[in-house]
Amino acid sequence: MNVSRETWARLDAYVALLDKWQATTNLVAPSTLEAVWTRHVADSAQIMTLAPAHATVWVDFGSGAGFPGLVVAALRPDIRVHLVESNGKKAAFLREAARAMGVEALVHGARAEAIAGSAVTSADVVSARALAPLADLVRLAAPLLKTGAVGLFPKGREAEAELTVTAKSWNVEASLHPSLTEPDARIVRIDRFLGPR
């Protein structure tokens, strides 16, 4: 990643805090912690290339340890990032990490169903990583997608099959993009939401 010294400092503070909290709170799979920079940070950063350049509001569902939401906040501090996480311990970590990084990220300690369309009525981007099958993500994100948000959902090797299943319930215009960090993985970009079938 080619980023400024300030951005590296934000990311360093984030990863250091993640490492510290991981000892008492299960934020990421322990087997992935040694490869945190590629497995989590770079994997999250790559979706920025698919986001609209004009994005000013980003909503991340099931933020967990902050991937991709806090990475977005580190890379683009001009974007207002909403982190949605119902687990109290993880929400506390997100608040502390945002403070340590010096980024403006609003943490919603609630489920996605309670936030989309109520606490957050519009967004430029909605994302979720390792939260639910694509059809469920589209359902959760529908209130934001129908107001023009772009959906960015990193998926594994079954992304195409998930998109096929999603198309049975939802009328969306979507595209698949190769992951730069995992050869078999794809990122689903929902460009247009036309409602349920």
The answer to whether residues 36 and 6 touch, using CB atoms and an 8 Å cutoff, is no
Strands in the chain per DSSP E = 57-61, 80-84, 105-108, 125-128, 150-155, 170-178, 186-196
Check the annotation: does 42 bind a ligand.
no
Q: How far is CA 76 from CA 51, 103, 111, 126, 181, in A?
A: 11, 9, 25, 15, 20
User: Is 129 labeled as ligand-binding?
Assistant: yes
Report yes or no: 94 and 104 within 8 Å, Cβ to Cβ.
no
User: Does 76 appear as a known binding residue?
Assistant: no
142 is in an annotated binding site: no
Please, are residues 61 and 86 in contact by the beta-carbon 8 Å criterion? no
The reply to whether 85 sits in an annotated binding site is no
88's tokens: 């109290």
Would you say the C-alpha torsion 177, 107, 62, 135 has a positive or negative sign?
Answer: negative
How many residues in total does the chain contain?
A: 197
Residue 53 and residue 56: Cα distance in Å, rounded?
A: 9
Distance CA(162)–CA(157), nearest Å, equals 10
Residues forming the annotated binding site for S-adenosyl-L-methionine? 62, 67, 112-113, 129
Residues within the annotated binding site? 62, 67, 112-113, 129
